[in-house]
Structure 1
Amino acid sequence: MNDITTREDVEYLVKEFYGQVIKDDLIGFFFTDIAKIDLIKHLPKMYNFWESILLGNPVYEGNPMRVHFPLNEVTALEEKHFNRWLQVWEKTVHDNFEGDIAETAITRALNIGRIMNHKMANARIR
C-alpha cells in the first residue's frame, strides 16, 4: 500500500469513507436523514478540505464547524457519534493507505472530532 500523496488519493479515501459512513447503523442517518447531503455537491468540498489538511494545498474554503451547529440542534451530535466517525475514518485509511500522511489523516481526524464534540456539547448546554 502507498501513502496519501495526491489529490486522487484524497478523493479515493473520501469516497471510500462516505461509502461506508452513510450506511453505518449509528451515524449514517446524520448524513442521509438529518443533513440530507447530496454527495455530488458534498464530496468535492470534502476533497478540498482533506487536500488542504493532508497535502497543504489551500483549496478549501468554508467553516466546517458552522455547518454542524444546525444539525446538532435537530439531533445531538454526541461523543459516541464522533467516536464512530473516527472508527470508520481510521479503518478506511488503514484499509487503503499506509505511511506518514495516512497516519496524519487519522491524527487530524481525531483532533477534529475532539474539537467538534466539545463545541457541539457546549452548544447544547446553552
Structure 2
Amino acid sequence: MRRFYERAMADPLLAPVFDVLAVVGLDEHLVVVGDFWEQILFRTTRYEGQFTAVHRALHGHHGLTPARFGRWLELWTDTVDTHFGGVNADRAKAKGEAIARSLERSLGGGAGSER
C-alpha cells in the first residue's frame, strides 16, 4: 500500500487529490486503507471508514475525472503486479477496477474540474 500511495502522491495527475495526506498523514491513512482492502479481499470487519462520503468530498474539491480514475487504476494494477502474484493479487486488481468504475458512475461519470 505504501508504494502505491507514494507513486500516487508523486503522480502529476493524482497528486492534487492525495494532498490531504499531507494533513492526515500517510502512516495514519495506511492503517485505514489497509483495513478497507482487507475487508474487500478477505472479508474482515475492521474497516469503519466512510468510503463513499470521503470520495464524494474529494470529487467536489478536485474533480475525480475519468482520466484520474484511469490513472489510479493503472498505478494500482502496476503496483500490485510489481509486488504480488497469484489469486489474491488478481482479486485485488479486479476489485480495484470494479471499485474505480463504481465510484466513477456514482459520482456522475467523474465530471468535475481537472485541477
Q: TM-score, normalised by structure 1?
A: 0.80
Unaligned residue ranges in structure 1 (runs of 5+): 1-13
Does residue 23 in structure 1 map to residue 16 in structure 2? no
- Please give the secondary structure, in 1, of the residue aligned with 2:46: coil
> How do residues 35-114 of structure 1 correspond to structure 2 at under 5 angstroms?
36-114=23-101
Deviation at 1:56, TM superposition (A): 2.1
Q: Count the aligned residue pairs.
A: 112
The higher radius of gyration belongs to 1
Q: TM-score, normalised by structure 2?
A: 0.87
Question: What is the aligned-residue identity percentage?
Answer: 30
Unaligned residue ranges in structure 2 (runs of 5+): none
Give 1:8's aligned residue.
none
Comparing both chains, which one has the higher relative contact order based on Cα–Cα distances under 8 Å and sequence gaps of 6 or more?
Answer: 1
Deviates more, 1:24-33 or 1:45-54: 24-33
Regions of 4+ moved over 3 Å: 33-37, 122-125
